[in-house]
Amino acid sequence: MDFSYTILIPLIPLALFVILGLFSKKIPASISGWLGSLGLGTSIALSLYTAYHYFMDGKLEGVYQTFVYKQTWLIFTDKLHIDLGVLIDPISVMMMVVVTTISFMVHLYSRGYMHGDDGYTRFFAYLALFSFSMLGLVLATNLFQMYIFWELVGASSFLLIGYYYTKPSAVAAAKKAFIVTRFADLGFLIGILLISYYTGTFDFKDLTSLDGMLIAGWGASASFMGLSVFTWGLILIYMGGVGKSAMLPFHIWLPDAMEGPTPVSALIHAATMVVAGVYLVARLFPAYYFVEDGFALQVVAYVGAISSLVAALIAVTQTDIKRVLAFSTMSQIGYMMLALGVSKYEGHEGLGYMASMFHLFTHAMFKALLFLGAGSVIHAVHSNYMQDMGGLRKYMPVTHITFLIAALSIAGFPGFAGFFSKDEILVAAFESNKLIYYSSVLVAGLTAFYMFRLYFNIFWGEDRKYKHTPHESPLSMTIPLVFLAFMSIFAGYIPFSQFVTADLMPFEAHLNLPLAAIASSVGIIGIIIAFIFYKKPSDLPERFANAFGFIYKWIYNKLYFDELYIFVTKKILFGVVAFSASWFDKNVVDSSMIGIGNVTVSVSNKIKGMQSGKLQDYAMSFVGGIVVIAMVVFYIWIN
């Protein structure tokens, strides 16, 4: 089997970026949108073909094979070199499908959403750049290639969040996203340096091979503070994932990133880039699982579980609909992380791994749909806030129905996609760690509640005073909604355990009925509470908030994480470190250099008296000089 043509899948968006970027002034808007969609259309066709081909024929003796095509890009030492290429295995093929699908949908949608915008062509150029970078990341053959594209998706995210660059809040959000994730990436980079120093390779194939240096050799590795350096390396690499995937404590950039245009939020900050951290752990899963008996994997599990719970709590209190969705994304990614964290390796025990990838897939569909639906609503009422919405079901039927489908899906309502993937995650958690399981069930309830709080607030309740009567979005926007709604239901029926597993061998996964019943009843309870609270205007929510006064305020303000970060950066790093560096430079280093200069000047002032211009003085010095030299010569001579 030859999959070398898959290199075209990222290269097509790259070509688009170059064309649209270089000629952004010359290409009219009517062409650039179509050109972008056409290019991504080709990419999605190729990746669907690859997926079909690979999952049908990619097995050898029941095990999915890995195909690698690569080219050396830069050589560091005899052992260490960066290759660029494509790696075809179940998760990369799955991710490729997710990225091209959502990207294609977002391209189609943006043609309507961004209509009439000044930077229309520039927007499509950025989208193409992002698609290229994300596909490069997904298909990476080694850690360093992943790091390269990791930085590139970060940069495209920066450009897209700051798309409305004259708006101060958008610029601030773009900077924040870039700097916070770059700080996390510092951990990633140091992790790569550590691991490659000890194992002498960047290659995923060597790093995840069961008899490779990393997995078989950890017992003999050096240790630091009681843990193997390999564990430290993996934790540091995970730090990069924590940053990109907006887990605690690096989540603070994600809510602000909602300043970007809504299609961007759907593509980057819901479906693709933010799950890069999950993908990273999945990519290195055998290493996380086997090195030091999975210590680093435990860290993944707990970070995921805590982030998932905290984010769900915060989502309940927010009023900006995009921020609710942002926290919801963070919470769902926490789910995927914890599923990986509780997973084992072989056969059915690797359920968590499979569930995590499954949820990544279904989540991409319904969360992209929720964002695009929110975009459609924002497009109609020109506001992000729930207070300005209500009763929209009459005006926007397609948006209403698709949004409802997505909400049911994420709430885990039986029969919808989210129900199946979430159930697998809960089963995996139940079998491995009860504490995490209980917290996940609680999160399931909260998810259903905040999602239907959103739904009822937007589409039910009373009409607000709208400036213009809201109307349904154009076809270019509703077609992607309908397609994604279809996926939000039927993606759940894909037998994922046949395709994507930790040990690359298919297994049979069955619905665990008791656990599924618990999860869906918790979800339905959440929906019912939301129904009581928000279906009709009532003072219940307010009374509730007042009852929890202090805690409510705390959660509403996102646990004051932003304030903490501002304190550390503004007060300590800028106010103390940077300030003293520049002060020290000006007043100590530079002053002492000037001081040396001044001493020279004053010495020369003292001795300039010697240049008196009187012949006698010079003759005197001359004679004195000769006498001294003669004495020295005489002294040397007699010795």
Partner 1 sequence: MDILSLFVIVPILIVLALTFFAKDLKQARLISVVGMGIQFAMSINLIFAYIKERAVNTNIMVFTKDVVWYETFNIHYSIGVDAISVVMIALTAVVLLAGVFISWKIDDLPKEFFISLIALSSGVFGFFISTDLFTMFVFYEIAVIPMYLLIGIWGSGPKENSAMKLTLMLMGASAVLSVGILGIYFNSNADGGPLTFNIFEIAQVNIPVAAQNIFYPLTFIGFAVIGALFPFHTWSPSGHASAPTAVSMLHAGVLMKLGGYGVFRIAMYLLPVGALNWSDFFLVLSAFGVIYGAFAAIMQKDLKYVNAYASVSHLSLVLFALLMFNRTAWTGAIIQSLSHGLLTAMFFALIGMVYGRTHTREIEKLGGIMKILPFIGAIYVITGLAYLGLPGFSGFVAEMTIFVGAFQHPDLFHRILTIVVVSSIVVTSVYILRMVGKIMMGPLSNEEYKDLPKATWFEKTGLILLLIPVIMIGVLPLGLSEMLKESIQPFLERLL
Residues forming beta bridges with residue 84, ordered by sequence position: 71
Nearer CB in complex with partner 1: 189/527: 189
Shortest distance, CB of residue 6 to partner 1, whole angstroms? Answer: 20
Residue closest to 246 by CA, chosen among 275, 284, 279: 275
Helix, strand or coil, per DSSP, at residue 24: coil
Nearer CB in complex with partner 1: 84/105: 84
Number of H helices, E strands in the chain: 27, 6
Q: Are 509 and 348 in contact, with CB atoms under 8 Å apart?
A: yes
Whose tokens are 């970026």? That residue is 17
Nearer CB in complex with partner 1: 162/445: 162
Relative to beta strand 227-228, strand 223-224 is antiparallel
Rounded Cα distance between 465 and 195, Å, is 60
Nearer CB in complex with partner 1: 471/571: 571
Shortest distance, CB of residue 594 to partner 1, whole angstroms? Answer: 7
Give the H or E element holding residue 67: strand 67-75
Nearer CB in complex with partner 1: 188/533: 188
Shortest distance, CB of residue 197 to partner 1, whole angstroms? Answer: 6
Nearer CB in complex with partner 1: 101/145: 145
- Exposed e or buried b for every residue in 208-223, given b needs 16+ CB within 10 A? bbeebbbbeebeebee
Residues that bind partner 1 (CB under 8 A): 72-77, 80, 144, 148-149, 151-152, 155, 162, 165-168, 171-172, 174-175, 178-179, 182-183, 186, 189-190, 193, 196-197, 574, 577-579, 581-582, 585, 589-590, 592-594, 597
Shortest distance, CB of residue 637 to partner 1, whole angstroms? Answer: 22
Nearer CB in complex with partner 1: 546/582: 582
Q: Are 228 and 294 in contact, with CB atoms under 8 Å apart?
A: no
For residue 349 the two structure tokens come to: 């025990």
Shortest distance, CB of residue 394 to partner 1, whole angstroms? Answer: 38
Shortest distance, CB of residue 460 to partner 1, whole angstroms? Answer: 38
Relative to beta strand 63-64, strand 59-60 is antiparallel
Shortest distance, CB of residue 252 to partner 1, whole angstroms? Answer: 15
Sorted by sequence, the CB contacts under 8 Å of residue 517 that are 6+ apart come out as none
For residue 396 the two structure tokens come to: 């926007």
3-state DSSP of 445-509: HHHHHHHHHHHHHHHCCCCCCCCCCCCCCCHHHHHHHHHHHHHHHHHHHCCHHHCCCCCCCCCCC
Shortest distance, CB of residue 579 to partner 1, whole angstroms? Answer: 6
Shortest distance, CB of residue 276 to partner 1, whole angstroms? Answer: 15
Residue closest to 252 by CA, chosen among 353, 330, 143, 364: 330
Nearer CB in complex with partner 1: 8/186: 186
Nearer CB in complex with partner 1: 38/190: 190
Q: Are 308 and 251 in contact, with CB atoms under 8 Å apart?
A: no
Q: Are 353 and 339 in contact, with CB atoms under 8 Å apart?
A: yes
Shortest distance, CB of residue 21 to partner 1, whole angstroms? Answer: 9
Nearer CB in complex with partner 1: 463/590: 590
